[in-house]
Amino acid sequence: MKRLQEQARGRDIGDNLIIRTAVRLLVPFIQLFGLYVIVHGHYSPGGGFQGGVILGASFILLALAYDLRTSLRFMSERTNAILGNAGVLIFTGIAVLCALLGGLFLDYSALDRLISLGPIEWRSLGIFLVEVGVGTAVMSIMVSLFWDLGSGGEMDEGL
Amino acid sequence: MIWELDLFILALVVVCAVVAINIRDLLGAVVIFGVYSFLMCLLWAEMGAVDVAFTEATVGAGVSSVLFIAAIFRTTRRSKD
């Protein structure tokens, strides 16, 4: 355990060409699968939370195989914070919009008064929009949890 | 649902839980906990709760193991045992 920690401090643990190449090939497919899980959340198992965790795990995998700076190059801390807040805003915004348009909180059929698609179609579309918000927020929180925990809050080096 | 399979996986889950509590090495405990999560995911999927199994596989086995290991790397061991 102590030896592992010293190696991690010397940053030669996990410095492996095979792991790096495998992760570089794997990450786009993981992200595609995460998007699939979010989009198909209301037809099949999965949904915003699971898809968001898969999307966040792809960035965590990138930070594990390379280092924290590489993952920060693909998604900066600022972008991450904006995405997280935007996800929560999408969720609550749609819910409040439903209430403002005369329905209940999160009653998607009220959105029919905005664009006339029919209440049943709007229920399906409303769940999809809310799950996009949930997925974005969960992805951002998962990534920033790992960033802060892995670097001790300093955000310059990682595990 | 096959109850023999359920019982077998449940026995493995209980064994993993006991080992994860009693093991001395923290990193070993995290690995055993990952095994526990995967077996639990298998149990949920076998019992027909695919959505819960999905969550267990992504959060329980995937992200929480990584977060546990990240927390362990930030700790130091004071005692001699």
- Tell me, what's the pLDDT at A151? 79
Cα B43 versus chain centre, distance? 12
Residue pLDDT, tens place only, A131-146: 999 999 999 999 999 8
Residue pLDDT, tens place only, B14-69: 999 999 999 988 889 999 999 999 999 999 999 989 999 999 999 988 899 999 98
- Cβ(A20)–Cβ(A61) under 8 Å? no
Residue pLDDT, tens place only, A26-74: 999 999 999 999 998 878 888 889 999 999 999 999 888 887 888 888 8
Statement: residue A8 has pLDDT above 80? no
Q: How close B73 comes to chain A (CA, Å)?
A: 6
- Cβ(A102)–Cβ(A112) under 8 Å? no
What number is the average pLDDT over the span A151-159? 65
Contact B67 A149 (CB under 8 A): yes
Q: Which of B25, B55, B70 sits opposite A50 (nearest CB)?
A: B55
Taking 3-state DSSP, the helix, strand and coil percentages for chain A, each rounded to the nearest 5, stand at 75, 0, 25
- Tokens representing residue A147 in the block: 């960033």
Statement: residue A159 has pLDDT above 60? no
**Gap between the Cα atoms of A140 and A81, Å rounded:** 7
Q: Which of A49, A53, A152 sits opposite B74 (nearest CB)?
A: A152
Angle separating helix axes A119-151 and A77-100, nearest 10 degrees:
150
